[in-house]
Amino acid sequence: MEMPVSEIRMIDHNVKPGPLNHCQVCGSSDLELVLDCGHQPLCDSLLTAAQLHEPEPYFPLRQMRCTRCTLNQLDYVVEGSTVYHQNYPYRTGVTRELAAYQELMAKDLAARYRLNGTSIICDIGSNDGTLLKGFKQQGIRVLGVEPTQIASIAIADGIDTVNDFFNEVVARDIVREYGNASLVTASNVFAHMAPLGDVVRGIQALIGNDGVFVLENHYLVDVLNKAQYDTIYHEHIRTYSLKSLVTLFGFYGMEVFHAERVSRYGGNIRAHVCRRGSRQIEDSVGEILKMEVEMGLDKPAVYEKFRKNAEKTRDKLIEFAVAAKTRGQSFVGNSCPGRANTLLHYCDIGTNLMPYIAEQPASLKKGLYSPGKHIPIVDNSILFTEQPDYVVLLAWHYAEPIAADLRKRGLKSKLIVPLPECKILDAGPERTPISIVVPVFNEEHNVERAYSTIVEEFNKLPDYSYEIIFTDNHSTDGTFGKLKELATADPDVRVLRFARNFGFHRSILTGYRHAHGAAAIQIDCDLEDPPSLFPEFLRLWREGHDVVAGVRSDRKESRRMIALRRAFYRLLGSISEVPHAIDAGDFRLVDRKILDQLKTIDDAQPYVRGLISELARNQTGVVFTRQKREFDKSKFPLHQLVRLAMSGILSYSIEPLRVATYLGIFVSLVTAVMTCIYVVARLVTQHAWPSGFATTTVLILFGISLNAIFLGVIGEYIGRIYIQARKRPTVIVEQALNIDEQ
Ligand SMILES: [Zn+2]
């Protein structure tokens, strides 16, 4: 951008603390809002426990854009000495990935500019000297400039460091002592410095006629494309486009002769700058400038999209956090780079949702509290002992190496990356999916407790994941409403609501048919059967049993009911062709093989317990004591139990038919014998017996009642044939939540 000489003189690039209403580079006052992050504390002003009791300053944090040179900048600048206070905790060398990156950068630059023992390299904002170490290893003389106490770490490490803010005076002192620098670097600091004019004049003096200045910083295009709103914090008073850099150096007789986009921090720009005319301008500069124009960096649309994406990822992260909390699962943070605090404030996540942030053992931030939100920062060894359900990778720009490292050390948690798309990075080590099938009918007081107890049990089973399938037999109370809430909060809760009450067995059969797990466990909603048996069920299943049934040793109910149930199971066992587990109810685990077979069963009046016994190849039981129902009374009154018993007998036995036959034969034999006796008596005695009216009547009535019983039994079978012949679906589903196929 060409500027008339008179205008150049007018622009003061030394930015003063306080509100900003003009562009820091081109001076234009035509600024537009990009994103308002509210007021926030300084992201690297971590607090000690004692400081938690003191006031904490907050500053405006709004990102603006210059419509002229496309620079993005904050509209408020905090005093440098406040930002880079003596306890400034940022240390380059701590992040292994960053240290490796800088070593590579040193090698690249040394090769490109053929640096050798006669060269001197100066790094502005040299931190603990990590970048310079890379040059020093190659025998190049190095000098750092670092304003914070971290300089002492570099000095102790043998890296000469000036402990001061870089400016023109410091630069001239360096030139006097060491001569001009062949290379001046500014890695991730050039967007931070407020006295920009002073800094650029210092660089100008330091590189002299032939030196090169290489700056690297977060790049506006990557910030926008990846919704990196977390790069907006008080230290980043500017976010550069290449156009804005070209404009800036134009004021100082310098020019960008090479530019490259590099991966660090989720997307950086590295610009190579020299005295105007001292080097050939490479194609890379024109190419990137062209891309910026095509992207529309000077138009509002791209910023509108950025804002929408930032909001979307924010809402998603909040959703994850709240859902985890609802389920009683743990949700914690890993690593606390400065940008994490913008993210936590923008998403409004505090200790209520995230109890701690884990940091590497060498981090200076350990033992402190995050600014504003006051989340304790702790040693990351806690992750491996606690194995939280969710770990948010706040340093998401290093998500892959961090995730690989955490996994290698045995972390099983689900890892969430908040940006550029908020998602679960991977499910961790493969977990075996188990379906929990819960038939419900008017259980509004039980569903939530059942859900949370089941989830709690699975939280103790890191090798398994769950899906909970509620089959609602058209409850008439608030049950379905509660199920809806659970399904909204937890995508692993599936609900099938039937159009009417189809009975218990069709309800559970439908549940089994929708189960996707490697095994399914059926459990009553009232939790009379304890979910604490899940681990034992799963263990026996792993041993090769395809059905593991809960066997009740002592039900806490009336003696009459116990006796009735016992008698029923024994009767069923003795007359049925299929073995039944004595005293086993519907609390059982069923293997995938059987679940698949249940899908093919075409029985409109299913007796599931029997079906499963029939299909089982290797059945076993776990003895347990049933708990008394805590809420409501049993949903199985006596008449329903009798119906269930009838269903069991009729589905699995033709004995009733045989009984009828035997009885018929027996009665006809008795009749024949009686007739013989009567005839013989008449012949022998020649005596007129009483008319025998009573006997005849009894016999007739007996015959009629026998007929009625037989007809009833036959009718039962015909009824079943009829129902089967009608080929109706097992159930009619009215509503399905979190289930795809219906
Ligand atoms: Zn501007």
The CATH code of the domain that includes 107 is: 3.40.50.150
| Residue 384 included in any domain | yes
> Are 590 and 718 in a shared domain?
no
Q: How far is the CA of 613 from the centre of ligand 1 (A)?
A: 78
> Are 252 and 353 in a shared domain?
no
> Are 671 and 548 in a shared domain?
no
> Are 696 and 554 in a shared domain?
no
Q: How far is the CA of 270 from the centre of ligand 1 (A)?
A: 20
The CATH code of the domain that includes 337 is: 3.40.50.720
The confidence score (pLDDT) of residue 31 equals: 96
| Residue 670 included in any domain | yes
Q: How far is the CA of 10 from the centre of ligand 1 (A)?
A: 14
> Are 52 and 151 in a shared domain?
yes
Residues with CB under 5 A from ligand 1 (ion): 23, 25-26, 28, 66, 68-69, 71
Q: How far is the CA of 68 from the centre of ligand 1 (A)?
A: 5
Q: How far is the CA of 244 from the centre of ligand 1 (A)?
A: 7
Where are the extended beta strands (E) located within 83-218? Answer: 120-124, 141-145, 161-162, 183-187, 212-218
> Are 246 and 329 in a shared domain?
no
| Residue 438 included in any domain | no
> Are 660 and 620 in a shared domain?
no
Instruction: Report the domain count for the chain.
Output: 4
The confidence score (pLDDT) of residue 1 equals: 47
Task: Count CB atoms within 10 A of the CB of residue 204.
Answer: 20
Are 361 and 383 a contacting pair, CB within 8 Å? no
- Residues of the chain with pLDDT below 70 are 1-10, 85-95, 265-266, 426-430, 554-558, 569-570, 572-584, 604, 627-637, 640, 647-661, 686-694, 697-698, 701, 722-729, 740-742
Are 99 and 92 a contacting pair, CB within 8 Å? yes
Q: How far is the CA of 27 from the centre of ligand 1 (A)?
A: 6
Q: How far is the CA of 22 from the centre of ligand 1 (A)?
A: 8
Q: How far is the CA of 31 from the centre of ligand 1 (A)?
A: 8
Q: How far is the CA of 735 from the centre of ligand 1 (A)?
A: 57
- Angstrom distance (rounded) from CA 662 to CA 670: 12
Q: How far is the CA of 238 from the centre of ligand 1 (A)?
A: 11
Query: What does DSSP say about strands 519-522 and 464-472: parallel, antiparallel, or unpaired?
Result: unpaired
Which one of 620, 652, 684 terminates a domain?
652
- Residue 565 contacts by C-beta under 8 Å, 6 or more apart in sequence? 555, 583, 641
Which one of 424, 456, 473 terminates a domain?
424
Q: How far is the CA of 26 from the centre of ligand 1 (A)?
A: 4
* 416-470 residue pLDDT tens: 999 999 998 865 556 788 999 999 999 988 899 999 899 888 888 878 888 999 9
Q: How far is the CA of 279 from the centre of ligand 1 (A)?
A: 26
Q: Where are the alpha helices (DSSP H) in 327-430?
A: 338-346, 381-386, 399-408
| Residue 305 included in any domain | no
Q: Which two tokens stand for residue 578?
A: 């299929």
The CATH code of the domain that includes 463 is: 3.90.550
Q: How far is the CA of 515 from the centre of ligand 1 (A)?
A: 60
> Are 479 and 366 in a shared domain?
no
Q: How far is the CA of 40 from the centre of ligand 1 (A)?
A: 25
- Residue 120 contacts by C-beta under 8 Å, 6 or more apart in sequence? 140, 141, 142, 143, 178, 179, 181, 182
The confidence score (pLDDT) of residue 645 equals: 73
Range of 721's domain?
A: 655-726
Q: How far is the CA of 419 from the centre of ligand 1 (A)?
A: 28
> Are 66 and 202 in a shared domain?
yes
Q: How far is the CA of 307 from the centre of ligand 1 (A)?
A: 21
Beta bridge partners of 472: 440, 497
> Are 474 and 457 in a shared domain?
yes
Q: How far is the CA of 540 from the centre of ligand 1 (A)?
A: 70
> Are 15 and 149 in a shared domain?
yes
Which one of 652, 684, 708 terminates a domain?
652
Q: Which two tokens stand for residue 477?
A: 């109370």
| Residue 304 included in any domain | no
Q: How far is the CA of 23 from the centre of ligand 1 (A)?
A: 5
* Per-position b or e across 662-687, b if 16+ CB within 10 A of its CB: eeeeeeeeeeeeeeeeeeeeeeeeee
What is the maximum span of the chain, computed from C-alpha positions, in angstroms? 156
Q: How far is the CA of 25 from the centre of ligand 1 (A)?
A: 5
Q: How far is the CA of 240 from the centre of ligand 1 (A)?
A: 10
* 266 DSSP assignment: G
Q: How far is the CA of 79 from the centre of ligand 1 (A)?
A: 22
The confidence score (pLDDT) of residue 188 equals: 86
- 650: nearest Cα among 687, 697, 606: 606
DSSP 3-state of 630: coil
Q: How far is the CA of 303 from the centre of ligand 1 (A)?
A: 16
| Residue 495 included in any domain | yes
Looking at every residue in the chain, the average pLDDT score rounds to 85
Q: How far is the CA of 71 from the centre of ligand 1 (A)?
A: 5
- 199: nearest Cα among 190, 207, 208: 190
The confidence score (pLDDT) of residue 397 equals: 86
Please return the burial class of 169, using the count of CB atoms within 10 Å of its CB with bins 0-12, 13-18 and 19+.
middle
| Residue 311 included in any domain | no
- Angstrom distance (rounded) from CA 271 to CA 455: 53
The confidence score (pLDDT) of residue 601 equals: 76
Cα angle 191-196-202, degrees, rounded to a multiple of 5: 115
The confidence score (pLDDT) of residue 7 equals: 47
Q: How far is the CA of 231 from the centre of ligand 1 (A)?
A: 19
Q: Return the sign of the alpha-carbon dihedral for residues 126, 129, 131, 134.
A: positive
> Are 326 and 292 in a shared domain?
no
| Residue 349 included in any domain | yes
Q: What is the pTM of this model?
A: 0.61
- Angstrom distance (rounded) from CA 223 to CA 593: 51
Q: Which two tokens stand for residue 636?
A: 């199985």
Element (H, E) at 10: helix 5-10
The confidence score (pLDDT) of residue 83 equals: 79
